[in-house]
A and B are shown apart, each in its own frame.
Chain A
Amino acid sequence: MIFQPETIEDALGLLAHSDQVLVVVSGGTDVLPAIRSGKYASRSFLDISHLKDLSFCYQEQGFLYLGPSLTHTQILEHEMIRAGVPLLCAACSSIGSPQIRNLGTLGGNLITLASCADSVPALLALGATLVFSSSRGSRSISLPEYLSSPVCAPTELLTSIAIPLLLGSGWTFYHKKIARRQAASKSRMSIALLAQMEAGRFASGTLACGAVTSTPRLFSSVSALLEGKFPSDELGRQAGLLVAQEITKSAPVRQSYLYKLPVLQELVKRAIVSCGGIS
């Protein structure tokens, strides 16, 4: 069976009263390959792709609120998002191909929770919070907290993504995705650094990486290292080392780390040097 609710309330009602866990279809770009591989045999689906109420974008009380059904293309083309969170646009522009960006949604990229989900490092660096709703109410959870225990009840739907507005001046960012091809390719790794510079020094810096550990992650030790320092090759080298140490300490060593860790360290260095405007 497939259900096509007319409102969010209808969708939440269907999730609450269904006798089986419904597979939610937003853009469909992850669900369709799963159907093809036989993963969802005899399951029922909830198609929310046409719910315009989940494709919003507005600013309120210091936050930018994004609807989870915004496609990556809609994010790239939205003036408020381009102006407010260009780091997210850089990340979304690296996803798939134009045809996939026209279908795939921000919410889908988050909920699928692939290690290589390209929007997630950017959302981590931006300090995003997720809002889940069910017929019984809503709850907010910070993205790092969600990633550490990604539990979404079968009756819940991701209904909003809140990103703090960047206040003050001196904001800069770095984003890089490494993949086999420039288009339609999964990340080998990706990195997002959001920094605020004051008089040439890092007032703050938030670094996140994707496709290296089981889920994208933040590196708070790097934030502590950067604060108050002038960007330099040496600072970048130290930060890269911290990242590599943190990864090897917290996760089982993978064969791919022989390649990934040295490349990641170089990317971290480039990110830090780039945010300082040093060529």
Chain B
Amino acid sequence: MNKLEHITFEVNNKEITLAISPTERLVDVLRKRLGLTGTKEGCGIGECGACTVLLEGIPVSSCMVLAAQANGKKILTIEGLHGKDGALHPVQQAFIDSGAVQCGFCTPAMVLCGHALLIKNPDPSTEEIKLAISGTLCRCTGYTQIIEAISLAAARMKS
């Protein structure tokens, strides 16, 4: 009764059904089984935020989510984020234009956190941007450019 052996979920607007093991993590399903390696794994204990994906539009650490918990849910990874007609999404373009990408390891998570913030709050203050990215560590410490990029994306998306 209610035993879960398969999950059906939507990843980047594509419905997928998979057999899962009880302890399988969402980050492993995304990276190892679906080949979506844009999602990075850093600490594996929910502290660095590198594995952030959007679960039902909300940023979560995918190393802290069982694959089973994604059953019936919508997931957005960095591979699924894009602008109109296949162009880069405004947040991605703003990261390039602001020089907000250094080693790139935190970039997918930072972009997704910025994207989720702008959906909820199209005109965030610097403090609100800082709070939105506060769960994602940038080892290159390029936080100033990342904050500028999200702010630039907000301005562009408004106009």
Contact = CB atoms under 8 A, between A and B. Distances in A.
Contacts of B61: 99-100, 103
B59 A98 contact: yes
A25 B72 contact: no
A50 B4 CA distance: 13
B2 A25 contact: no
Contacts of B63: 32
B157 interface: no
Contacts of B1: 3, 10, 13-14
Interface residues of B, number: 33
Contact of B135 (A44, A47, A97): A97
B45 A33 contact: yes
A25 B69 CA distance: 9
A4 B68 contact: yes
Interface in A1-30: 1-6, 10, 13-14, 25, 27-29
Contacts of A28: 64-66, 69
Contacts, number: 104
A14 B65 CA distance: 22
Interface in A82-100: 96-100
Interface residues of A, number: 35
Contacts of A10: 1-2
Q: Most chain-A CB neighbours within 10 Å: which of B44, B58, B61?
A: B61
Interface of A: 1-6, 10, 13-14, 25, 27-29, 31-33, 35-36, 40, 44-45, 47, 49-50, 73, 96-100, 102-103, 182-184
Interface of B: 1-4, 22-23, 25, 44-49, 52, 55, 58-61, 63-66, 68-69, 71-72, 113, 131-132, 134-136
Minimum-distance CB pairs A-B, first 4: A97-B135, A2-B22, A183-B134, A99-B135
